[in-house]
Structure 1
Amino acid sequence: AELMFIDFMGVCFDQIFNQAAKFKYMFGGKAETPMVVRTMIGGGLRAASQHSQCLYPIFTHIPGLKVVIPSNPYDAKGLLIQAIRDNDPVIFCEHKSLHQLEGDVPETPYAIPFNEANVVREGGDVTIVAIGFMVHRAMEAATALAKEGIQCEVIDPRTTSPLDLETIIESVENTGRLVVVDESNPRCSMAADISAQVTEQAFGSLKGPVKMVTAPHCPPPFSDVLEDLYMPSAEKIAEAVRSLK
């Protein structure tokens, strides 16, 4: 199935949250709902408040749903094939600002397993976990920070449900510092969730507070000037990293 924007999901919350997500549990594993819902997320195209939200944390919150957020063409194909082969309902979130991105994609089928984060860039000073389009902003920040002598490790979770927390914690145990970049609003966001889990499970490894870089707690604006301020930028990410050094 395809819903043009994740903002429109409200019209079918009951079918997704209370039916598809719960059938396997309610029937003791005897019923399955192998379903993929593709949808667009995110800002950057001046599509205003009702077409620019990043609502994947809502779906991540629901047991029984799997949530996929690719950041590049190679991952998009591999994760989509994995989603199609999966026997659970999958919400497949495509950031609209990435639809024009080009990259090498093999013609032959391949699948990328869920729950396997991608370490996009290695570094020993600060861990940056970034979701979807924010991976590119994080990489931009990491490149700039490297010129200042700060080496960042950038991790792309690929999926938020399931979440590969093991890879994130392993990185934090090495760097001692964590910045989480999430385009969704800050309250009950993936940034807040990852921050809480890392703080709970790897507190002894942290050399300072976990920093979150998110959108503000308001709807996405239509104005180009305001939307640029609304979205997490490479400079905001860099500022968060510098504050930990």
Structure 2
Amino acid sequence: MKNYKLNYLPKDILAGIIIAAVSIPISMGYAEVSGLPPVYGLYGSVLPILFFAMFTTSPQFIFGVDAAPAAIIGAAAAGLGLQAQSPEAMSFIPMTALFAGCWLLLFFLLKAGKMVDYISTPVMGGFISGIAVTIILMQIPKILGGGSGTGELPELIRAIIEAVHQINGASVLLGVCSLAVIVIARRLAPKFPMVIVVMAAGVLLTCFGHIDQYGVRLLSAVEPGPPKLMSRGRRSLCVHNFGQWIFRRQRAEDSWLLS
């Protein structure tokens, strides 16, 4: 901020509005992928970025909600038998995020980032491609009119089959048209923010077209005000349950290896 010029401000404000318009809905979708209510994505796309902007020393570093951790955490919660958006999932996932942050801090202190240099490009490419395929499989049931798929590959395929049996034509039409418009716009006008136009059209259809009357599923209502902090008793319960879930997962893996 020391060398910041005021003539940058109008363009920076416009860029911030555009990025927020794109990132907030995407973050709410990632929250559903991880097994949390969409409102957690709203908070996660705003509050951490504000703190990062205040304390970071890098003007180029990119920070925000990411698809890969969301898919990994969602699969881990489903593997423990936790239903998406349940109280158990909302206790497990914050604890997972806390311990992941502790590990990252430890890796920073040990300067373990150099280990990334020994990971081959095919391994990283396969990991990223696997995450992308997992997210696509999770979203197919939503386009068909059902809920988001969760779990490993068999559970995701089962969710798609169940959604096919209860397919909703309006949801399919809306999803396919939105994807087609975005893909075509990226080829014909790659610099035009068509994603924002599609989201604005979706908001207008929801407000004035009442698409929910045709069976299109909408996001749950977002409670006004900031998120509520956990009480001390709730935090203690989260730690206790987290330990039990990890122990149960380890026993299941040991049983699978011995069988």
Q: TM-score range by the shorter chain?
A: under 0.3
TM-score in terms of structure 1 length: 0.26
Higher strand proportion:
1
Higher helix proportion:
2
Whose radius of gyration is greater, 1 or 2?
2
TM-score in terms of structure 2 length: 0.25
